[in-house]
């Protein structure tokens, strides 16, 4: 697999419209991300119709910008890689249609890419580092997923477990809403937690012994109970708590509980499956406390993407595109979006 490639990646699965040009799966030539966060913030979460309309408005400009910043035209691109799922159906379709149109017009191959698989490949985009060596233990923690995987080779996964209820990022977003901290919840909780004590509350850590699964809904309920104990008449999740509630302590104690479960379980799995290295990716991997805990507690190397590549971007889509292009994948121009596409089917 030594053939040189230059892949155009397109990503519209949730609330970022993104396009990128990546060489050889590792070298980011350009990466453009148009965030919709300000559009969704008033709703306290991603509003699907608003998301798809915003993708339609920005997709052409974002793709043009990625190509022009890379100083290339489609003539010097080898394939177009686009997120096919999982994600919001109405949003996925916008990126897919754009990619299909470009593929049809240029004759370039179209590659439908799994967004979760792409989060793992964000690690390969740190070009200065040597490539990780298999077998690898992968943790993907995003707004919609918490997945633990064993990666035995490129594009080859065994799913060990995942969340049974809320994803890690979803738990951050929901608890941020309970505490009146706004959207997206992860960064807001992280900032607030800096001012609080992580040992102020002993929140539950669902270990789910004997499985590699996670559960965060009990933790979310425990935070809700604390809010209600202090302000029983508050419409929690709708109204922000009034002064008097020690929000920073709640945020710090909640964050510590999420971090403990994610780090301990991932490192235990790495041990059990004798992984050479651990890869942590997805929006929640931007979390400072999580990154520090992995660095402190891990015995074998743990890699996490640089902050800009933790959250959604198209460079990671183009990176998977490289490996899949070399592996011979060529998709038909009528492929559908797959809003609930598990990574284990890769
Ligand atoms: O991977 P991502 O950008 O989108 C999905 O594929 O879902 O992840 C978004 C999620 C959101 O739930 C957001 O609150 C969370 O990642 N997130 C964080 C941080 N930055 C983003 N969670 C904790 N700490 C952060 N610093
Ligand atoms: Zn994502």
The DSSP secondary structure of 291-336, one letter per residue, reads HHHHHHH-SS-EE---HHHHS--SHHHHHHHHHHHHTT--B-TTPP
| Nearest Cα to Cα of residue 265 among 315, 221, 207, 218 | 207
Q: Separation of 177 CA from ligand 2 center, angstroms?
A: 20
Length of the chain: 346
Q: Separation of 290 CA from ligand 1 center, angstroms?
A: 12
Buried (b) or exposed (e) across 281-307, using 16+ Cβ within 10 A? bbbbbbbebbbebbeeebeeebbbbee
Buried (b) or exposed (e) across 60-95, using 16+ Cβ within 10 A? eebbeebbeebebeeeebbbbbbbbbbbbbbbbbbb
Domain 6-126+309-345: give its CATH superfamily. ATPase, nucleotide binding domain (3.30.420.40)
Task: Tell me: pLDDT of 345 over 80.
Answer: no
- Which ligand approaches the C-alpha of residue 193 most closely? 1
- Please tell me the distance from the alpha carbon of residue 344 to that of residue 148, in angstroms, as a whole number: 11
Q: Among 92-106, 191-205, 230-244, 272-286, which is the least confidently predicted range? A: 230-244
- Please tell me the distance from the alpha carbon of residue 216 to that of residue 235, in angstroms, as a whole number: 21
Task: Tell me: pLDDT of 295 over 90.
Answer: yes
Q: Separation of 142 CA from ligand 1 center, angstroms?
A: 5
- For 63, list phi and psi in degrees, rounded to 5: -65, -45
- Please tell me the distance from the alpha carbon of residue 328 to that of residue 62, in angstroms, as a whole number: 28
Mean pLDDT, residues 130-148 taken together: 97
Q: Separation of 305 CA from ligand 2 center, angstroms?
A: 13
- Please tell me the distance from the alpha carbon of residue 85 to that of residue 90, in angstroms, as a whole number: 11
Structure token digits, residue 163 = 């969340």
Where exactly does CATH 3.30.420.40 map onto the chain? Answer: 6-126+309-345, 136-304
Q: pTM to 2 decimals?
A: 0.96
pLDDT number for residue 2? 56
- Note the pLDDT tens digit of each residue in 273-286: 999 999 999 999 99
- Chain centre to alpha carbon of residue 88: 14
Please report the atom of ligand 1 found closest to the CA of residue 176. Answer: 14
Q: Among 44-53, 54-63, 194-203, 259-268, which is the least confidently predicted range? A: 44-53
Q: Which class is domain 136-304?
A: alpha beta
Element (H, E) at 65: helix 48-69
Contact 136, 275 (CB under 8 A): yes
Q: Which residues line ligand 1 (CB under 6 A)?
A: 14, 142-144, 169, 172-173, 184-187, 190, 282-284, 286-287, 311-312
Helix (H, G, I), strand (E, B) or coil at 236: strand
- Note the pLDDT tens digit of each residue in 43-83: 888 999 999 999 999 999 999 999 999 999 999 999 999 99
Structure token digits, residue 160 = 């060990």
Helix (H, G, I), strand (E, B) or coil at 35: strand
Q: Separation of 53 CA from ligand 2 center, angstroms?
A: 19
Contact 246, 196 (CB under 8 A): yes
Residue with CA nearest ligand 1 atom 16:
283
- Please tell me the distance from the alpha carbon of residue 125 to that of residue 155, in angstroms, as a whole number: 16
**What is the tally of helices (H) and strands (E) in the chain?**
11, 10
Please report the atom of ligand 1 found closest to the CA of residue 119. Answer: 1
* Residue listed under structure tokens 């992968």: 138
Contact 224, 166 (CB under 8 A): no
- Note the pLDDT tens digit of each residue in 12-41: 999 999 999 999 999 999 999 999 989 998
pLDDT number for residue 3? 81
In the chain, the percentage of residues whose pLDDT exceeds 90 is 94
Helices 247-272 and 185-193, packing angle to 10 deg: 110
């Amino acid at each position: 697999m030594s053939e040189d490639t230059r892949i155009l990646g397109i990503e519209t699965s949730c609330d970022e419209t993104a396009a990128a040009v990546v060489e050889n799966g590792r070298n980011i030539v350009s990466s453009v991300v148009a965030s919709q966060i300000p559009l969704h913030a008033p709703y306290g979460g991603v509003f699907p119709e608003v998301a798809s309309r915003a993708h339609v408005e920005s997709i052409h400009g974002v793709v043009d910008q990625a190509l022009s910043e890379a100083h290339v035209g489609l003539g010097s691109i080898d394939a177009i890689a686009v997120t096919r799922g999982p994600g919001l159906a109405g949003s996925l379709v916008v990126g897919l249609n754009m990619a299909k149109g470009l593929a049809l017009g240029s004759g370039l191959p179209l590659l439908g890419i799994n967004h979760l698989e792409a989060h793992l490949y964000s690690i390969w985009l740190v070009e200065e580092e040597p490539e990780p060596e298999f077998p690898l233990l992968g943790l993907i923690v995003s707004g919609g997923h918490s997945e633990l995987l064993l990666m035995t080779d490129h594009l080859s996964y065994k799913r060990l477990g995942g969340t049974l209820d809320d994803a890690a990022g979803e738990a951050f977003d929901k608890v941020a809403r309970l505490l009146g901290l706004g959207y997206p919840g992860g960064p807001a909780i992280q900032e607030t937690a800096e001012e609080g004590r992580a040992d102020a509350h002993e929140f539950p850590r669902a270990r789910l012994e004997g499985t590699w699964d996670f559960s965060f809904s009990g933790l979310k309920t425990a935070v809700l109970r604390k809010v209600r104990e202090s302000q029983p008449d508050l419409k929690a999740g709708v109204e922000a708590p009034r002064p008097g509630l020690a929000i920073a302590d709640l945020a710090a104690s909640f964050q510590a509980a999420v971090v403990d479960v994610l780090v301990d379980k991932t490192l235990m799995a790495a041990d059990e499956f004798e992984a050479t290295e651990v890869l942590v990716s997805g929006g929640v991997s931007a979390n400072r406390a999580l990154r520090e805990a992995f660095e402190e507690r891990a015995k074998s190397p743990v890699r996490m993407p640089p902050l800009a590549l933790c959250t959604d971007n198209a460079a990671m889509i183009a990176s998977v595109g490289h490996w899949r292009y070399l592996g011979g994948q060529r998709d038909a121009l009528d492929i559908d979006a797959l809003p609930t596409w598990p990574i284990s089917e890769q």
